[in-house]
Amino acid sequence: MSDNDLWKTIEADAEADADAFNDLTTEGATELASMIRHLSELQTQLGEAEERLKGLKRQINRYTHDLIPAKMQETGLDEAKVGGNKISLATYVNGTMPKDPLQRDIALSHLREIGASDFIKNQISVDFAVSEDNRARAMQADLESQGYDTAAKTWVEPQTLKKLIRERMESGQEIDLELFNASIGTYAKIKGES
């Protein structure tokens, strides 16, 4: 919204509800207008700063995940010291559980099949009315047999999944990388010397 549009809105509001502006002095109106302009400028500056931050993050990502690892691998280096900074290559793993419920079930089945069911978390919850405290203490099986609908949530924590993928890849064990949208690569780790 431009400053001109903002002032037209304020004027329209003032005309629509004149009583709300009766106690507003010229000095108060000027101060209010100044505050509104300043807020608008701050919001614009914040948006610009966020865009610059996103751009910096993209550049850092490009250097740490693409340019430096490629150049170090091209020259056969795993580690280097430059200007008081130690640069080394490290492996990263990324993977996510599928969002689609059907694919999520397939992924959970896959983890069970490869013997990784210990990494799966489960959560079961049931809603009760205020007067059903005693029933709330019963076990899930009892609740289902009494006709209550239960909701179950089954998941694998993101960091746990990444660890599992890394460990299985490093040990040569089976895991469906495509199913978990997994990626494994190298990045440059920079550490300044004290």
Q: pLDDT > 90: what percent of the chain?
A: 48
Burial class (CB in 10 A: 0-12, 13-18, 19+), 61: exposed
Asked if residues 161 and 183 have their Cβ atoms less than 8 Å apart, the reply is no
Asked if residues 92 and 186 have their Cβ atoms less than 8 Å apart, the reply is yes
Residues 86-130: tens digit of each pLDDT: 999 988 899 999 999 999 999 999 999 999 999 999 877 767 676
The one-letter code for the residue type at 176 is D
Residues with Cβ < 8 Å from 79, sequence gap 6 or more?
A: 86, 87, 88, 89
Q: Is 0.85 topped by the overall pTM?
A: no
